[in-house]
Structure 1
Amino acid sequence: MAAADLGTAEWERSKITNQDLNLLKKLGITTKPKAVCFPSEESYPAPPMGYRVSFVDHLIRGLSTPIHPFLRGLLFVYGLQLHHLTPNSILHISIFITLCEAFLGVSPNWALWKRIFFCRRNGSPNVAYNIGGVVISIRSTANYFDVKLPDSVQGWRKRWLYIREENHGCAEDNIPPFDGAEKILRRRSWDAEATEEERTSTEALMTRIHELQNTRGKELSGIQIIVYFLKSRVQPLQARKFPLWKYTGNEDVDRLSVDLEVKDLEKLVRKITSLSKKDSIPSSCRVKPYSAAHALPKNHPNLVSLPPLPEGGEVEERTVISNDNQEASSFVNEPADSRKSAGSAEKDAASEDTTSAQSPPPADSPKNKRKRGDVEDSGTSKPEEAAPLPQKAAYDPYLASIISSADKAKADAAGVEDLRKRLHTAETSLSDHIAAQSAREEAIRKRLTTQSRRFVARTAQEFQLDEPANDPLLDALSFLEVHGSEAREGIDQAKAGLSRLFPYFFPKKEEPATFLNLAKCFNPSEDLGLRVRHENMKVAVENTVALVADSQQSIDWSKVGDTDQIEQSRWRSLIKAAKPNTRKILAYIGIKPSSTPSSSKPEV
């Protein structure tokens, strides 16, 4: 029974949490302007111009743009898009590139890759996934690192977003345009093995991998490789200026962020592997990786072998073998990402598929015939009678041409029908996208209009646009900009006024740096004006007493301070008598009286 291809039904509204956003920020992925764009309410990806669809779980496993040429070659030769690969598959590629560049001292090698990895369809005989529909697995015959990947990554398909495609003006870094309806077709390259010449050229690399794993006291593990590229803060799947064997440390130009804290690093390693809280996380590699501080040996060979790229035209390895939707035997479940299940998947499926697709049936040898004869003679089974072979009809060129023309017409009709279906699907998708965009613009316009009405209600100021664009969205935005300019101007004027008043009310304090803190100073529970008046009165009394003392007259100060003995009428007459000398006293104190409130700072 053919497996049901979920296709677009797998997509739903993105559910990215604040924890995911904080993790991307710590990793330095979202710090670059416009590097990431988050979906709003759409339930099916509609990436803006210049963006591609990706997942949070892909980014934290080493993916970044522009993508590495090796990853671009894998996507091309396997006929895949980014969303076809599972998170564990992305991590496999990151580990392989880090291993090649930092520990083998070579560029990622396509021939070496084919000796270690192969592809399988992810799903079951009844369900074929589109998102994460392909699993990259380790061959059972390859003596490779035990990576300790999780059997499954929960909920990763729901955490999708848009990443900005960067190519530095070079097509070699391009990501294939997103097509959520594109079916996954099994290709010859999925099972491609290294040729005899490639095996000979990469034998030294395989020997070095075995040494890295088995040198006593200096064993290298898959977890150590993961820890290394996470600590270096360089994304392995990004096209970089320099390979990892030229890594310069904290000042490296390809670093995305500063070093992660130890607790964040350990938490991330446990998140992308099967390690639990009880398992220890290695703080460093037992094998010193190549870098600028640990240069490659002299005359170190660098074997360059990249997957076929689209610039080279179609390659034989991309030949479509079959549609996996009709081949239940080629499906494996997602746990095949782990080392253990990869071997069993290859044993069960690779031998059958590879033999049937690439190798002819074995010829009957005398030994085989003898075995069949033994079985027949033993009576355990009854051989079927051989049916007579039909006689081969004579070749008729005219009949052959008619059959060929009919087959061609059928193929053309099928092609036209397929194009019609694709065009209808594209039109439907475009209509849905336009409708979603219109609804989004209407919601934005309503929100902008509401904000404009609130501003008018608070400020009692309504504006008219000089040159309206007759576009509801743009006009609403223009009104909001006008209101915002008016509000900013009012805030600036208020700040300037409060700054001038601040020294009078707070003579001993330094003026706050922000307007919010400045405004808070003028909203205490006490009466600031009364406090200022009391301070001024205190200054006046102290200065007056000082002048009286300077007159060198004998004064009974106990009676001077006893204000209860002074009658109001007597006090007024004394004040009136003192007025002629007020200006002299004020001038001596340093205060110049005027008809307007003084702007000088009072002395305390």
Structure 2
Amino acid sequence: MPPRRLTRHSTPDSSMAAADLGTAEWERSKVTNQDLNLLKKLGITTKPKAVCFPSEESYPAPPMGYRVSFVDHLIRGLSTPIHPFLRGLLFVYGLQLHHLTPNSILHISIFITLCEAFLGVSPNWALWKRIFFCRRNGSPNVAYNIGGVVISIRSTANYFDVKLPDSVQGWRKRWLYIREENHGCAEDNIPPFDGAEKILRRRSWDAEATEEERTSTEALMTRIHELQNTRGKELSGIQIIVYFLKNRVQPLQARKFPLWKYTGDEDVDRLSVDLEVKDLEKLVRKITSLSKKDSIPSSCRVKPFSAAHALPKPVIKDLLRIGAQFVGYREYASKTEKKLAEANERANTLALQLEQSEKARKKAESDAVDARAEADKAKADAAGVEDLRKRLHTAETSLSDHIAAQSAREEAIRKRLTTQSRRFVARTAQEFQLDEPANDPLLDALSFLEVHGSEAREGIDQAKAGLSRLFPYFFPKKEEPATFLNLAKCFNPSEDLGLRVRHENMKVAVENTVALVADSQQSIDWSKVGDTDQIEQSRWRSLIKAAKPNTRKILAYIGIKPSSTPSSSKPEV
């Protein structure tokens, strides 16, 4: 039966009617000082900038070169660069790291440690399918995104009882950023974080081993059964956990050497020195369901493979045979080496293609980052355009209000100017016509007002000139005012200015007459001069008439040219 091909085709999980929480699950990180101390003891934070802790963000935004992880993932064997087998699982299942629960991470760590340290083989997909499968994690009403997938042991698999807790409390809140590292191989990279990516059930979640894969892994399953049931040398899941925690080698990290070449305290893949016994036991109880009453094994009953305990040669031959079966060459055992060489050549070709594919993937990721940046810029520009639209609308509304107010003001001004024009016409009885009207009510009213104003200014100038010429005669002892209003007020007193001038002139005339009479050297009784009660009016007029012939001489003497009109004979004194 030919092996089934694994594709990236996905189908919705029809068994889950609950909706994904999506980004609503994320909240501000709550990594405690106790968590920081534990990571420091495990050697995870010893490298410079190996871990970056979030500040105030409530949704992960990893810096360039970092990926999102959890404290509970790191203490269960996760570290960067990640193991190729873990990356392969994420690819086949279509998952990201935050989709897996802490118990699922621990299952993968135990499996890799079992394969490398106790079976002496690299972890492989065929053996994995015989033991594990994936299922969706959630409740009837809620389907989680963080920890939304659980890796479970098949009921038919004869596998270790790991004694995992039913659930890990609060692990979703303890997230942080880990630096993405690699050993020059793109396969060590962690897929880019996407917190909004939906979990879709894939056919690979329930994929079972083919008949060929079952045949090729039967010896490994037998060895797993022996490890569990050899009297006096029973191996348990807790012992496997203690082994990789005690050795300080993270199973889920891409390492320079597999665990069957582990060299001890000087191993290049160790992250820290040995943990103290109390710290080791406390950590084992933290990640399992063991309580303080349960004892923690200090070592394994089965001696694991290492540099000091090398793989036996028969096992190596079996591995070569199993490797040949995996790539489909099983006809002739004598041609194994040739077949393996061909497989290696094919693997090199696939590696080259994979490298090219990885370059394309990196370019696609770079293009995706650029596209996101352009999209963010477009959103920002759109927000700016929307803001400009709002501001423009506000400005247009304000301008409309201003235009309406200006129109109302101009109308009020026009009415006032028209009223002023009418008042001027009513006062002066003069009405003007514009030669070339602009048909603009405001401009025409202003033009009329200018015409009226020009005529009024011209009249005021002429009146001021006339009053200025008269001022010295009426007010010889005063200084002429600077303004026309004050000048006009001088000519509008309560008394009669003309009568006052005539009185002044008559006084001068009387004084001059008295002076002439005195100069004639006649004897005059001056006590009788001016006694008008003794003079009759008829006598007065006859005397005036008799004096007229000499009037011209007297006026000429005092420098006044008489007019041709007859003088008034009206008595004023």
Please give the per-residue CA displacement for 1:292-315, whole angstroms capped at 9, x wherever unaligned.
0000001xxxxxxxxxxxxxxxx9
Is 1:122–1:331's contact at 8 Å kept on the other side of the alignment? Answer: no
**Structure 1 counterpart SS, 2:47:** coil
Change (3 A) 1:272 1:498: farther
Is 2:234–2:301's contact at 8 Å kept on the other side of the alignment? Answer: yes
Q: Give 1:439's match in structure 2, choosing from 387, 408, 414.
A: 408
**Structure 2 counterpart SS, 1:25:** helix
Mapped to 2, the partners of 1:578 and 1:553 lie a distance apart of 16
Alpha-carbon distance, 1:326 to partner: 45
Please give the per-residue CA displacement for 1:437-462, whole angstroms capped at 9, x wherever unaligned.
99999999999999999999999999
Please give the per-residue CA displacement for 1:169-193, whole angstroms capped at 9, x wherever unaligned.
3211111100000000000000000
Alpha-carbon distance, 1:546 to partner: 141
Is 2:81–2:253's contact at 8 Å kept on the other side of the alignment? Answer: yes
Mapped to 1, the partners of 2:504 and 2:264 lie a distance apart of 61
Alpha-carbon distance, 1:118 to partner: 0.1
Alpha-carbon distance, 1:521 to partner: 100
Alpha-carbon distance, 1:126 to partner: 1.1
Q: Give 2:147's match in structure 1, choosing from 122, 132, 138.
A: 132
Please give the per-residue CA displacement for 1:192-222, whole angstroms capped at 9, x wherever unaligned.
0000000000000000000000000000000
Alpha-carbon distance, 1:4 to partner: 2.0
Change (3 A) 1:240 1:233: same
Is 2:421–2:448's contact at 8 Å kept on the other side of the alignment? Answer: yes
**Structure 2 counterpart SS, 1:136:** strand
Is 2:65–2:179's contact at 8 Å kept on the other side of the alignment? Answer: yes
Q: State the partner residue of 1:384.
A: none
Mapped to 2, the partners of 1:102 and 1:435 lie a distance apart of 88
Change (3 A) 1:72 1:33: same
Mapped to 2, the partners of 1:197 and 1:158 lie a distance apart of 44
Alpha-carbon distance, 1:252 to partner: 0.2
Which one is further off, 461-470 or 336-345?
461-470
**Structure 2 counterpart SS, 1:135:** strand
Change (3 A) 1:54 1:197: same
Alpha-carbon distance, 1:124 to partner: 1.5
**Structure 1 counterpart SS, 2:522:** coil
Change (3 A) 1:346 1:511: farther
Change (3 A) 1:517 1:434: closer
Is 1:123–1:333's contact at 8 Å kept on the other side of the alignment? Answer: no
Q: State the partner residue of 1:260.
A: 275
Mapped to 1, the partners of 2:557 and 2:198 lie a distance apart of 95
The answer for unaligned runs of 5 or more in structure 2 is: 1-15, 314-333
Is 2:186–2:358's contact at 8 Å kept on the other side of the alignment? Answer: no
Mapped to 2, the partners of 1:346 and 1:438 lie a distance apart of 61
Alpha-carbon distance, 1:109 to partner: 1.4
**Structure 2 counterpart SS, 1:322:** helix
Alpha-carbon distance, 1:2 to partner: 3.0
Is 2:186–2:355's contact at 8 Å kept on the other side of the alignment? Answer: no
Alpha-carbon distance, 1:532 to partner: 116
Which one is further off, 19-28 or 462-471?
462-471
Q: State the partner residue of 1:503.
A: 472
Change (3 A) 1:428 1:341: farther
Change (3 A) 1:409 1:438: same
Using structure 2 for the length normalisation, give the TM-score: 0.53
Please give the per-residue CA displacement for 1:316-335, whole angstroms capped at 9, x wherever unaligned.
99999999999999999999
Mapped to 2, the partners of 1:219 and 1:556 lie a distance apart of 175
Q: Give 1:487's match in structure 2, choosing from 432, 449, 456.
A: 456
Please give the per-residue CA displacement for 1:483-505, whole angstroms capped at 9, x wherever unaligned.
99999999999999999999999
Which one is further off, 523-532 or 251-260?
523-532
Change (3 A) 1:180 1:340: closer
Change (3 A) 1:339 1:164: closer
Alpha-carbon distance, 1:261 to partner: 0.1
Change (3 A) 1:407 1:208: same
Which one is further off, 155-164 or 475-484?
475-484
Mapped to 1, the partners of 2:549 and 2:267 lie a distance apart of 80
Mapped to 1, the partners of 2:400 and 2:243 lie a distance apart of 47
Please give the per-residue CA displacement for 1:363-409, whole angstroms capped at 9, x wherever unaligned.
xxxxxxxxxxxxxxxxxxxxxxxxxxxxxxxxxxxxxxxxx999999
Which one is further off, 543-552 or 151-160?
543-552
**Structure 1 counterpart SS, 2:527:** helix
Change (3 A) 1:536 1:443: same
Please give the per-residue CA displacement for 1:132-174, whole angstroms capped at 9, x wherever unaligned.
0000000000000000000000000000000011123321111
Alpha-carbon distance, 1:255 to partner: 0.1
Is 1:3–1:326's contact at 8 Å kept on the other side of the alignment? Answer: no
Is 1:88–1:337's contact at 8 Å kept on the other side of the alignment? Answer: no
Is 1:84–1:133's contact at 8 Å kept on the other side of the alignment? Answer: yes
**Structure 1 counterpart SS, 2:168:** coil
**Structure 2 counterpart SS, 1:41:** coil
Please give the per-residue CA displacement for 1:239-274, whole angstroms capped at 9, x wherever unaligned.
000000000000000000000000000000000000
Change (3 A) 1:452 1:550: same
Is 1:444–1:473's contact at 8 Å kept on the other side of the alignment? Answer: yes
**Structure 2 counterpart SS, 1:163:** strand
Using structure 1 for the length normalisation, give the TM-score: 0.50
Which one is further off, 504-513 or 92-101?
504-513
Q: State the partner residue of 2:484.
A: 515
Comparing both chains, which one has the higher relative contact order based on Cα–Cα distances under 8 Å and sequence gaps of 6 or more? Answer: 1
Deviation beyond 3 Å, 4+ runs, structure 1: 315-350, 404-604
Alpha-carbon distance, 1:91 to partner: 0.1
Mapped to 2, the partners of 1:85 and 1:331 lie a distance apart of 29
Is 1:148–1:339's contact at 8 Å kept on the other side of the alignment? Answer: no
- What is the number of equivalent residue pairs in this alignment? 535
Mapped to 2, the partners of 1:522 and 1:250 lie a distance apart of 125
**Structure 2 counterpart SS, 1:588:** helix
Which one is further off, 578-587 or 44-53?
578-587
Change (3 A) 1:544 1:442: same
Change (3 A) 1:257 1:425: farther
